[in-house]
Amino acid sequence: MSNVLVTGGTGFIGSAIVKHLAENGHRVVVLSRSNRSSTEPTIKYVTWPKNMIDAESLFESPDIIINLAGDPINKGRWTEAKKRSIIESRVQSTRNIVEYIRQANHKPQLLINASAIGYYGFSDERQFTEQDIVAPHNFLTEVSEKWEGEALQAEAFGVRLVMARFGIVLGKQGGALQPMVLPYKLFGGGKVASGKQWLSWIHIADVVSLVEHIITDSSMHGAVNFTAPNPLQMDDFGRTIGKVLRRPHWIPVPAFALRIFFGEMGDLLIKGQCVLPSVALNHGYQFQYPHAEQALADLLS
């Protein structure tokens, strides 16, 4: 099995990937901002080095790098300082990884670098696949474009690059699901904004399995959408939550209220995009949870 270096490996998505990799025989080094210890023999935590020149022995010459590092987008209002942090944290961590690859004697075979479906921009009418180019600019397209631009530099060193464009990841341990479910548990769920905005989601189990699929299928490279094959409009997704929980879907949340409460970050709820996982499907990946009702029944049971 492989030596895998994971940055951002202590967050919701990262910790699930690390656990899966370790359970499947990979040796995992998790690059963290703080000192941590592990009780698992195949998982090791190290802090970011001050100088990437000395990193090769610290990282144990990884065969695979999975870069998930970055200031969370969905925590805190998007002030100008927050926006700079969101962009700079992603660009700098990716730049550090590429610099490590440039200097390393043992080059990794694969870099999976996180990105987001925000790359495609917002639309209530269009469907997007990996073949679509970046849409007219908003803040999220700017983040994704700069993030991917740094990652692309790794290809100059013979590394297979996959840019994992994450949709809304659903899981029990974190992510967007619990805040979406809470109003229904309180019998107050309903349509969010117009309800026509698309929600391109994916179960956390499919995230970790798709990462493994990318590792084993050496023909996969470039952008890969991490979304289930059956996105839903927000109103239908809310109705599905209500159905699974046996709760009403009746109290609407108007767009103006979301903008007052969240500011520009409210666009994450008010707007959306219909993103299909064409590359994953074309490379034979079979989703464990292709439909939202099936995924929600598993996560909310």
Written as tens digits, the pLDDT of the chain (301 aa) is 899 999 999 999 999 999 999 999 999 999 988 777 787 889 999 988 877 766 777 778 899 999 999 999 988 899 999 999 999 999 999 999 999 999 999 999 999 999 999 999 999 999 999 999 866 678 999 999 999 999 999 999 999 999 999 999 999 988 999 999 999 999 999 999 999 999 999 999 999 999 999 999 999 999 999 999 999 999 999 999 999 999 999 999 999 898 988 899 999 899 999 999 999 999 999 999 999 999 999 999 8
Number of domains present in the structure of the chain: 1
SS3 state of residue 271: coil
Q: How far is CA 108 from the centre of its chain?
A: 21
| pLDDT number for residue 75 | 87
CATH code, 151: 3.40.50.720
Q: How far is CA 177 from the centre of its chain?
A: 14
Closest to 74 measured CA to CA, from 265, 278, 237, 287:
265
Which pair of structure tokens corresponds to residue 224? Answer: 């890969």
Gap between the Cα atoms of 174 and 104, Å rounded: 35
Residue linked to tokens 């979406």:
180
Gap between the Cα atoms of 26 and 43, Å rounded: 9
Residue 249 has φ and ψ, to the nearest 5°, of: -120, 95
Cβ atoms of 165 and 226 within 8 Å: the answer is: yes
As a 3-state breakdown, the chain gives helix, strand, coil percent values, each rounded to 5, of 45, 20, 40
Longest dimension (CA), the chain: 60
Give the global pTM: 0.96
- What domain range is 58 assigned to? 3-299
Measured at the alpha carbon of residue 146, what is the angle toward residues 102 and 268, in degrees to the nearest 5? 135
Residues in the chain: 301
| pLDDT number for residue 19 | 96
